[in-house]
Structure formats: structure tokens, C-alpha cells
Amino acid sequence: MMYIYEHTWPGLILAAIAFLIIIWSNQFVFPKIKLWQWLLVLIVAFGSVAIDYFIQTDNEKIRAVTTKIVKAAQNEDVDTIGNCITDDYHDSINENKTAFLDRARSRFSDNIIEKNVLSIISVDIHNPSASSIFTVRVLFDPRGPVYDYQKQMIFKLEARLTKQTDGSWLISRLEVMEVDMHPINWSNIINSLSEVID
């Protein structure tokens, strides 16, 4: 049933079936196609598009906030990153939201990222919490200090999310799992970046 809200195609298939029934019925039941029959097909088709557009599921909201924070990192937009995480955010290296944002702000001053390519692997929802596992292929900025060391890397991350009172989802914890398919954590990455940048 969730497919109705997440995808347009079930409604469009239903509209196509209704269209075929109308065509069939006009051969045997009705002498010609009536206006109301065309309207029925159009209502079903437009209704499926409207439902998909106006009703956003938890899965879609989680995917949207994941996309937003990855895009904000690409744009080195620390304020938007801050809007994507909870006030009680913490991870294995940052004890709070302020520490995370300060670290991001200091790293982004070095022109690190040129482009991020996101691929969401899974979303697991257990209201009011959820987790999302995704990869980000980071293309490093040729003007930055990392580019000479590495042109690109693929990061696999896990985000823990918390549902807010307004129904939105924010990231409460973000941990790196792998880099280029090798297990790693935030401490390893910070130390490696410090060697390259500092």
C-alpha cells in the first residue's frame, strides 16, 4: 500500500487498466466512449501524480534529509548541515552538534569537495527512530590539498535519525563505516586528513 504514496506508477497502471476496460466496454456495452469515461481515466492518472507529490512518506523524508546533508557538504554549507542534524547530535569523535559543525567549518575552509554522488543502500524505520546506510562518491576539488593525494573516494556511512514533533526527520548520529570498501572510522579519517591538510 505504501507504493501508492511513494511512486506514481501504481496509479498510472490503474488508469491504463481503466482505459483498456473503457475501450473493451465500448465494443460490447456502450455504442461510443462517453465523456465521463475519459474523465475517470484522467482523474485516476492525475490523482496518482498528486498523491505522490503531496504526500511524503517517512522513507521519502529520510531520503530527502540524507540527500540534503550530502549536497550541503558538497557546497560546504555548514548552516544547512546544521539544519539537518538534531540538537543532541553526537558521534564517535564529536561529543555534540557544535563540535561537529566547528570541525566541518574548519575543514571546508580548505576547498576539499568538488562533487558528491549519493547512493542510498537502505532505510530501516522503527518509529520514532530510523537508520540509513548510504555511499557517497566524493570527487575532490582540484584546487584543494586532498586532490594531489587522492582524486576521489567512496565513503559508506550510517546515519541514525530521529523523528521530530513536526513529522520531519533529522540525523542524530553519523558514522563512517568504510572508505573504498575498507573498514574505517571517523578517527582514522580525521588523522589522515590532518596529515594531508595540516
Cβ within 8 Å of residue 111, ≥6 positions away:
76, 141, 143, 144
Domain spans in the chain, listed from the N-terminal domain onward? 3-54, 58-197
Distance CA 53, CA 133 (A): 25
Q: What confidence score (pLDDT) does residue 3 get?
A: 47
Q: How many residues does the chain have?
A: 198
CATH 3.40.190.10 describes domain 58-197: no
Q: How far apart are the first and last CA of the chain?
A: 53
Provide the whole-model pTM: 0.75
Contact 111, 144 (CB under 8 A): yes
Check: CB of residue 189 under 8 Å from CB of residue 149: no
Question: What was the pLDDT predicted at 8?
Answer: 61
- Residue-wise pLDDT for 21-79, tens only, equals 666 666 655 566 666 666 767 777 676 666 666 677 899 899 999 999 999 999 999 99
- At 81-124, the pLDDT tens digits run 999 999 999 999 999 999 999 999 988 877 889 999 999 999 99
